[in-house]
Structure 1
Amino acid sequence: MRANKTDRTPHDREWQLQEAKNRLSQVVDSALHDGPQTITLRGKPAAVVVSFDEYRKLTLPRTGLSEFFRQSPLHDIELDLSRSADLSREVEL
């Protein structure tokens, strides 16, 4: 039997393939409540079971910075991006 949530160590999130097959419901439940569950094959990580919400977060298309600015409601505002020719600036401390 697996340790309860408060007794878990990082190793408790690993399942040997045969154990994961035998306890699929428990693996899925653990993924929903405790986070990603690693399934090992011959002692090496082979797959990860995650909740659907976590999967969606991981697979959402990412917007590049230039696309982000193009989609901004402020995209058509004129900005003065020229730098001052001064070599130094006085700063009050």
Structure 2
Amino acid sequence: MSTLTSRELNHDVSSAKKAAQDGPVIITDRGKPSHVLMTYDDFKRLSGKRGSLIEALSMPGLSEIDFSPERIEIVSRAVDLS
């Protein structure tokens, strides 16, 4: 992972874009990480649409899966709120 200062980024944007082809580039501002430059494909992969629980439960073939979780016993105890 590469790191560039804001000044370095402003001086040579094309080098920063080339570096982003190999992985995320951290941009610092006054010595602290402030931004990340990455390719659009990496961005799409990281921010891809997540399915809902309903979509996951309605997947084809899900009804054929044998799922029998073990029953557990939960013991409660008295609480003193005085």
Q: Residues of 2 paired with 1:80 and 1:39: CA distance?
A: 47
1:57 Cα shift?
0.6
Equivalent of residue 73 in structure 1, options 60, 73, 80: 60
Q: Does 1:24 align with 2:16?
A: no
Q: Residues of 2 paired with 1:14 and 1:65: CA distance?
A: 38
Q: Does 1:50 align with 2:38?
A: yes
Listed as ranges, the gaps of 5+ residues in structure 2 are: 71-82
* Aligned-residue identity in percent: 28
Q: Residues of 2 paired with 1:80 and 1:46: CA distance?
A: 46
How many equivalent pairs are there? 71
1:40-67, Cα deviation, whole Å (9 max, x unpaired): 0000000000011100011111124542
1:14-57, Cα deviation, whole Å (9 max, x unpaired): 1010111111111011101x200000000000000001110001
Q: Residues of 2 paired with 1:81 and 1:75: CA distance?
A: 13
Q: Residues of 1 paired with 2:56 and 2:49: CA distance?
A: 12
C-alpha RMSD over aligned residues? 2.7
TM-score by length of 2: 0.69
Instruction: Please tell me the residue identity of whatever aligns with 1:74.
Output: G
SS in 1 for 2:9: helix
- Using CA pairs under 8 Å that are at least 6 residues apart, name the structure with larger relative contact order, 1 or 2: 2
Q: Does 1:59 align with 2:47?
A: yes
- Runs of 4 or more off by more than 6 Å in structure 1? none
Listed as ranges, the gaps of 5+ residues in structure 1 are: 1-9, 84-93
